[in-house]
Structure 1
Amino acid sequence: MTTEVTTTELQAFTDDWLGWYRAQEARLADPHGFLAITGLHWLDDRPQRFPDAPGTWHTGRDGVVVHLDDGEELVVDGTPVRGEHRFGVLAERSGVDAVWKDAVIEVAKRGGHDIVRPRHPDAPLRAAFTGTPAYAPDPRWSVTGRYVPFDEPRPTTVGAAVEGLEHVYDAPGRIEFELNGRQLSLTAFPGHGAGRLMVLFTDGTSGVTTYAANRVLAVAPPAADGTVVLDFNRAANLPCAYTDLATCPLPPAENRLPVAIEAGLKIPRERGGS
């Protein structure tokens, strides 16, 4: 009876993981996902033209501006625009997607800099994508930890996949946990959604079987007693694992774990993974 329950639970665990994995891959391979990016263009006060986007672009105190040529059109928030369009001042880590024919022109702010990042469905990287290698899911890599909030959020500066760029996060706390008999902790950053957290980390597999620079793990909101689940089977790659046209953050120094976590997504084939 126990074996049957254990088998059933393992199957449910595997099925849940497969649902997560397929959703990750679908987002990545979306016609306008990160694999569709064809350029990373840094804006300043000089008008610039780019081969993979319409118009002439610049930025300044009042934010990003594009001047479209006659016959050129962008669709912003469902509204066609021609001539001059002002995107305004963008907040850090925010962006606007402007539709151009079958492409999307991402206008965003990263590390204090305004960028234009076109996404074309026929981008070679996307066209050649065959999926991301991953470790088989194993419940032993899903561990219970405890979230310890800081008295006040701590501004934490981290590097980026792009040399010279920095990201600043207000870290709300850390997560303490035990793995393979070792007491460990990870500084947590705000995640996507109310109360959710994310951790950026490296470990003993980084640069061996998993991407060298970083991995990311989403964490559900802590329970009332601070309990959280760290399911390292769902350790994901950031876009910089696939393309040099990404500005991904690097983990803070304290999140470089001294253990090998053989779980989650591996080095993408685009970076020589197998």
Structure 2
Amino acid sequence: MSVQTYEQELEAWRAMQEASWRQENGWLALAGLFWLEEGESRMGTGPDMEIQLPSGKAPAHLATITLKDGKVRLTAPAGSPVYVDGQQVTDIEMMPERPGPATIVTSGSLAFFIKNEDDDFMAVRLWDNDREERQSFPGREWYLIQDAYRVTGRFEPNPHTEEFPRTFGMVAEKETLGTVKFELLGQELALQALPGRPGTLFLIFRDKTSGQSTYAPGRYMLGELGDDNTVTLDFNKAFNPPCSVTNYATCMFPPPSNHLPVGIEAGEKYVDFLH
């Protein structure tokens, strides 16, 4: 692949990343995350609702979410504007995100589903597709493309459990697949790898730019895994977790073993949009 073709493909990839955050039911449309406890949680715009919806966007009581024995059920008053797949509903079991597919409920500009993770929690994740943030976000910023940050590493399988810090003070115990070892900026480095999309490894890392020009908790990247356990690492594609632009995402951050002692001036920079 020529340098020009590579840069064109990378710019197209970055444009898709930008669009994915602005899209309907995207990260910039998030409007709430509500933890569920056993029993009933009423949702609506009324002041006594456990799940508060944006003012003017729903009736005082839109619906009731009931968590019982690990299952979630939605019931709604007759005539309430609650829809699933375009059909008005008054009583339905809501399938959570995992194992999925999640039941997505819509009401006007609002949409919501049940977010869950390793049986640690159940929560209602809410979107409002009229949120101003979808338009007002100034855009994702990136370092200039640099070929020096495209390297080939080697994957060494070593499945084991690793603790990954998470938002809201939580910790996720994840089964890592092994270690990716590589050389960058004259140093021998290593990262613990999680499963990614087919043919890839998911890498979460911090480096010396974190908290300076890049997002303080760390960034994400996918490594392309070859049949011979070689891994193509392109730090020009390092990207921020969604927690960098919303308070309503649940993100994992790197364990100490994935804190790199170098400054990686490649990939996505940090735009302080939340403050």
TM-score, structure 1 length as denominator? 0.87
C-alpha displacement at 1:246, in angstroms?
Answer: 1.1
Aligned positions of 1:29-108 closer than 5 A: 29-48=22-41, 49=43, 50-52=51-53, 54-76=62-84, 78=85, 80-88=87-95, 91=98, 95-108=102-115
C-alpha displacement at 1:121, in angstroms?
Answer: 1.3
Within 2, Cα distance between the matches of 1:35 and 1:215?
Answer: 18
Within 2, Cα distance between the matches of 1:93 and 1:178?
Answer: 39
Q: Which residue number in structure 1 is paired with residue 220 of structure 2? A: 216
C-alpha displacement at 1:85, in angstroms?
Answer: 1.6
Correspondence 1:130 to 2:135: no
Within 1, Cα distance between the matches of 2:116 and 2:88?
Answer: 21
Deviation string for 1:149-192 (max 9, x for gaps)?
11xx32222111222x2223221111000011110000000112
Within 1, Cα distance between the matches of 2:95 and 2:24?
Answer: 27
Deviation string for 1:23-80 (max 9, x for gaps)?
100100002101101111000123222232731123131411222122124433x262
Q: Which residue number in structure 1 is paired with residue 48 of structure 2? A: none
Within 2, Cα distance between the matches of 1:269 and 1:246?
Answer: 16
Residue type at the aligned position of 2:52: P
Q: Which residue number in structure 2 is paired with residue 157 of structure 1? A: 163
Q: 121, 139, 142: which one pairs with 1:113? A: 121
Listed as ranges, the gaps of 5+ residues in structure 2 are 44-50
**What is the DSSP-based 3-state SS (H/G/I as helix, E as strand, rest coil) of the residue aligned with 1:154?**
strand
Within 2, Cα distance between the matches of 1:158 and 1:18?
Answer: 31
Residue type at the aligned position of 2:200: R
Correspondence 1:206 to 2:210: yes
Deviation string for 1:217-249 (max 9, x for gaps)?
0122x2222111110000001110111111101
Q: Which residue number in structure 1 is paired with residue 177 of structure 2? A: 172
Q: 1:118 to 1:135 in 2, by over 3 A?
A: same
**What is the DSSP-based 3-state SS (H/G/I as helix, E as strand, rest coil) of the residue aligned with 2:243?**
helix
Q: Which residue number in structure 2 is paired with residue 231 of structure 1? A: 234
Correspondence 1:253 to 2:256: yes
Q: Which residue number in structure 2 is paired with residue 4 of structure 1? A: none
Within 1, Cα distance between the matches of 2:240 and 2:246?
Answer: 11
Residue type at the aligned position of 1:255: N
Q: 1:34 to 1:93 in 2, by over 3 A?
A: farther
C-alpha displacement at 1:271, in angstroms?
Answer: 4.5
Q: 1:131 to 1:90 in 2, by over 3 A?
A: closer
**What is the DSSP-based 3-state SS (H/G/I as helix, E as strand, rest coil) of the residue aligned with 1:19?**
helix
Q: Which residue number in structure 2 is paired with residue 266 of structure 1? A: 269
Within 2, Cα distance between the matches of 1:158 and 1:92?
Answer: 21
Correspondence 1:25 to 2:33: no
Q: 1:90 to 1:210 in 2, by over 3 A?
A: closer
Q: 1, 9, 25: which one pairs with 2:2? A: 9
Indicate if the aligned counterparts of 1:97 and 1:105 stay in contact, CA closer than 8 A: yes
Structural RMSD (CA): 2.1
Residue type at the aligned position of 1:105: F
Indicate if the aligned counterparts of 1:93 and 1:109 stay in contact, CA closer than 8 A: no
Aligned residue pairs, count: 259
**What is the DSSP-based 3-state SS (H/G/I as helix, E as strand, rest coil) of the residue aligned with 1:162?**
helix
C-alpha displacement at 1:110, in angstroms?
Answer: 3.0
**What is the DSSP-based 3-state SS (H/G/I as helix, E as strand, rest coil) of the residue aligned with 1:38?**
strand
Indicate if the aligned counterparts of 2:95 and 2:103 stay in contact, CA closer than 8 A: no
Residue type at the aligned position of 2:268: L
Indicate if the aligned counterparts of 1:93 and 1:110 stay in contact, CA closer than 8 A: no
Residue type at the aligned position of 1:181: G
Within 1, Cα distance between the matches of 2:175 and 2:138?
Answer: 36
Indicate if the aligned counterparts of 2:35 and 2:124 stay in contact, CA closer than 8 A: yes
Indicate if the aligned counterparts of 2:109 and 2:130 stay in contact, CA closer than 8 A: no
Indicate if the aligned counterparts of 1:13 and 1:139 stay in contact, CA closer than 8 A: no
